[in-house]
Amino acid sequence: FATCDVEYYHRQQMLFLDFLQAGLVARKQSKVNWDPVDMTVLANEQVIDGRGWRSGALVEQRELTQWFLRITDYAEDLLGAIDRLDNWPDKVRTMQRNWIGRSEGLRLRFGFEPNDRLSATSVEVFTTRPDTLFGASFIALSPDHPLTAELAADDPRLDEFVAECRRHGTATETIERGEKKGYATGIHVKHPLIEGRTLPVYVANFVLMDYGTGAIFGCPAHDQRDLDFARAYGLDVIPVVLPEGADPVAFTIADEAYTGPGRIFNSALLDGLTIDEAKEKVAAILEAVTLDGGPQAVREVNYRLRDWGISRQRYWGCPIPIIHCETCGVVPVPKKDLPVILPEDVDFDRPGNPLDRHPTWKHVDCPHCGRPARRETDTMDTFVDSSWYFARFTAPDAEDPTDPQMANAWLPVDQYIGGIEHAILHLLYSRFFTRAMRKTGHLDMAEPFKGLFTQGMVTHETYQTEEGAWISPAEVIVETDGDTRIARQAETGRTVHIGSIEKMSKSRKNVVDPDEIVRTYGADTARWFMLSDSPPERDVQWTEAGIEGASRFVQRVWRLVGEARTIRERADSAQATAIDKDQLLPLLKATSRSIARVGEEIENLRFNKAVAHIYDFANAISRFTAEENCPGSLWGSKDHIQAVDAAALALVQLIAPMMPHLAETCWQELGKEGLVADAAWPEADPAYLSDDTIALPVQVNGKKRGEITVPVDADRAEVERQALSLDAVARILDGKPPKKVVVVPNRIVNVVA
C-alpha cells in the first residue's frame, strides 16, 4: 500500500478534487464523541455529560465538520453487482450484502392529536411491515429525534431521560441486555386506518436516529423489541398475522413475537390477505391519502450503509486539499498548487491533531480573494489510499491520477488475494472508488477485482508463565513425554502453560521471527511449509515439526537431482540394452501425470494438493534412481537415463513456483541454460495420462469385497461376469443369483445380494 508517498498523495488530492466536482463528496457537521488523546472520533462510545472515560482516556463531545464520500449513492449498484462477482467467495459476498443492508418499506406519516407543544403536525416513521399496521400500539421516537428535543424543552423529566439514554444508550452491555426503556411524552397520534384510534408517543432508548427516520411505530405482536417494550409499559399486544392452521380465537402472543408467515387477521380491510398482499394494499391506500399537503405514505428503500466519513484528525494521511475562507467559504486548492504536503516539524507531545496545532502550516491565503484563510487540517482515512492503488499501479508515472487507457487495458485485477479482514471495508471501498472513478473518467469499468481469494493466517501456540506473562516460542522448549507435551522456559527451566493456538500477534508473543526461520531453514523451506498441508484459505499452524519436515524435503529434492545427474553422466557409456520398456511405464506415467495434476492444482490455488502430488512424484522417481530399487534390466540403459532425466527436470519445474531458489540451483545442476523461471511449463504426454486397464472395485451391498482389473470401457457383461466370479462375491451369494448388479462403467461394480 503506497501510503505517505508524496507523488501518490498528489494524485489522490487531484482525485479528491475531481470527486468534489462530480458531486461525490459531502461535507457534514455533526456532534461527535471525541477522544482528544487518541485523536479519534468515538461516535458510539459512552459519554457522560459530554465528558467521560473510555479505557482511561478523556472523552469529550465536539462539533466537527467532516468530509464524506457519497458511497450511499451507489448502494443499489454495489449491492446488485455482488451477484455477478462469481469468482468471489460467498462469505465475502454475503458480508457485503449484509453490510449494505437493503430493506424495502414504507415511509409513513402519523398525524398528531392537537397539542400546543410541537411545531410539526405529523411524525414520519419507516417500516418494513406496513401489513402489521392494525397491530400498532405505540409510536417511539429516538432520543436524538428533533421532536424529542422540542418536547424535552418544556419537560425536564424527558430531558433527564434523554441524558440517561445518551449515557448508556449505545454501550455494549445495554445492547446485550436488550433492556427497553421508554418515556411517555403524553402526545398521541391518530391511527391512519382506524377511525378514532390513537397511539401514545414514547421516546425509547432502542430507536436509532441514523436509520430510517429515527421514529418507528411499534407492533408488539410481530416484533420482538416492540413486544419487550410493550410488556414493560403495559401496552396492547394485538396479533394481526395468523400462522397457517392456527385458531384465530385462541392465537395469542406470550413472550415471543411471531415473525413468520401467515394470513392477516384482526385487520378489517386487510383480513385474509397474505403478508405481501397486505403490504401492497396499505402502501396503495396511504399513497393516495393526502396529509399536510403530501401523500401520507411513500414507498422507500433504506440501506444500512452510511456515507463514508474519510476525515481523520491525525497527522498521518493524505491532506484534504481544501482551504476555508471566511469570505469565500470552502475553496478547493487549485490543482496547480498541489500537492498539499504535510509539514515535517510536527509535535506529537501534546494531545490533539498536530496539523491543527502547527504554528504556520494551516495559515494560507485564500486562492480566491487572497485574504488570510485556513487550511483544512483533516487528513484522509488511509482506506482512501488503498481504494485505488491498483488503478494507479497501471500507470505509476502518469501526471493524472490514472492513464485511462492503461487502466482499462490492465484492469480489472484477475485474481486478488487478501485476508478476510478486508471483506467489507477495503473491498467495498475499492468497488465504490472504481465506480466513482468511472464517473470522473479515470477508468471505465465497475468492478476492480474479478477474482477474489481470501487466504488464511499463520497461527501458533501461545505460552504463558505461571504469573500469566506471555512468552515467545523462541524462549520455550517443548518436550514430549508419551502423549503429553511439557513446555519449559529455556532460561529458567520452569514449566509454562501451553495455551490456545492463535493468530500470531505481538500481544500474545506467539510470533516466530521470519528472519530466524530464513536463517535456519532458508526462504524456500518456509514457503514450502506454508503451502503444504493446509488449504490456503485456512489458517496454518506453525509448528517446529512441520518446518523440519519441509526442510527434509528440500534436502531430498537436492539428493534426487544429484542422483539423476550421476545417472546421466553415464549416458555416454550406456548401452541401448534391449529392455522391458513396460518397466519404465510407472516413471513415465508419474512424470506426465504430475505435470498435469500439479499444474491444475496450482491454477485453482490448491497448493496443498499440488504439494501432495509433488511428494508422490518424488517418491515415484526415487524408485528409479537407486540401483537396488530399480528393475534390474533398466539400470543404466539409455531409456532409463532419458526417463530419469526428464522426470528430474519436470520435478524441478514443478517445485519452481514454490521453491524458486532451490529450483534454479537444481536447474543448473541438471545442465540447463537460463532460468527455470523463464522456461515454459513442462508438457504432459497425453499418451501417459490414460490407462489401458483399470482396477474396478467390486462391492456387495455397498461394501467393498474385492477388485477386478478390466480393460477401460470393458463390456458390461464381461465386467459383471468377472465380478460375480470373485471368491468373496461368490461366497456371500452362496449359490443364489444376485438380485441386481449395478455396473458403473470405469467406476465401480455393486452386486446386490
Partner RNA sequence: GCGGGCGUGGUGGAACCGGUAGACACACAGGACUUAAAAUCCUGAGGGGGUAACCCCGUGCGGGUUCGACUCCCGCCGCCCGCACCA
Q: Of residues 498-537, which lie at the interface with RNA (CB under 7 A)?
A: 532-535
Q: Which listed residue (99, 521, 558, 688) binds RNA by CB under 7 A?
A: 99
Q: How far apart are CA 607 and CA 614, in angstroms?
A: 10
Nearer to RNA, 370 or 419 (CB): 419
Q: Which single residue is written with the C-alpha cell 518424488?
A: 618
Q: What is the DSSP letter of 25?
A: E
Question: Can you state the angle between helices 638-655 and 660-669, rounded to 10 degrees?
Answer: 160
Q: Which of residues 586-625 bind RNA (CB under 7 A)?
A: 608-609, 611-612, 615-616, 619, 622-623
**Nearest distance in Å: CB 281, RNA:** 17
For 196, left (φ over 0), alpha (ψ -120 to 50), or beta?
Answer: left
Q: Does 225 bind RNA (CB under 7 A)?
A: yes
Cis peptide before 657 (omega within 30 of 0): no
List the grid coordinates of 483: 502423549
How many residues interact with RNA (rule CB under 7 A)? 85
Q: Does 121 bind RNA (CB under 7 A)?
A: no
**Nearest distance in Å: CB 500, RNA:** 9
Q: Which residues of 143-157 are buried (b: 16+ CB within 10 A; e: fewer)?
A: bbbebbeebbeebee
Contact 253, 259 (CB under 8 A): no
Residue (of 556, 558, 574, 562) closest to 640 by Cα position: 574
**Nearest distance in Å: CB 288, RNA:** 21
Q: Which of residues 295-324 bind RNA (CB under 7 A)?
A: 302, 304
Residue (of 321, 441, 302) closest to 384 by Cα position: 321
Provide Rg for the chain, Cα atoms.
Answer: 36
Nearer to RNA, 5 or 533 (CB): 533
Q: How far apart are CA 648 and CA 412, in angstroms?
A: 38
Q: How far apart are CA 188 and CA 202, in angstroms?
A: 9
Contact 707, 694 (CB under 8 A): no
Q: Which stretch binds RNA (CB under 7 A): 155-163, 212-220, 410-418, 652-660?
A: 212-220
Q: Which stretch binds RNA (CB under 7 A): 79-87, 548-556, 631-639, 710-718?
A: 548-556
Contact 391, 402 (CB under 8 A): yes
Nearer to RNA, 355 or 652 (CB): 652
Q: Does 179 bind RNA (CB under 7 A)?
A: yes
Q: Which listed residue (555, 577, 690, 725) binds RNA by CB under 7 A?
A: 555
Q: How far apart are CA 178 and CA 197, in angstroms?
A: 30
Q: Which of residues 385-444 bind RNA (CB under 7 A)?
A: 420, 423-424
Q: How far apart are CA 533 and CA 548, in angstroms?
A: 14
Q: Does 176 bind RNA (CB under 7 A)?
A: yes
Q: Which of residues 732-751 bind RNA (CB under 7 A)?
A: 740, 742, 744, 747-748, 750
Q: Does 629 bind RNA (CB under 7 A)?
A: yes
DSSP alpha helix (H) spans, 22-171: 75-80, 90-100, 146-153, 156-168
Q: Which of residues 125-164 bind RNA (CB under 7 A)?
A: 126-129, 142
**Nearest distance in Å: CB 132, RNA:** 9
Q: Which stretch binds RNA (CB under 7 A): 45-53, 272-280, 546-554, 718-726?
A: 546-554
Q: Does 223 bind RNA (CB under 7 A)?
A: yes
**Nearest distance in Å: CB 430, RNA:** 17
Q: Which of residues 456-495 bind RNA (CB under 7 A)?
A: 480, 483
Nearer to RNA, 250 or 695 (CB): 695
Q: Does 254 bind RNA (CB under 7 A)?
A: no
Q: Which listed residue (695, 713, 735, 736) binds RNA by CB under 7 A?
A: 695
**Nearest distance in Å: CB 250, RNA:** 24
Q: How far apart are CA 727 and CA 721, in angstroms?
A: 12
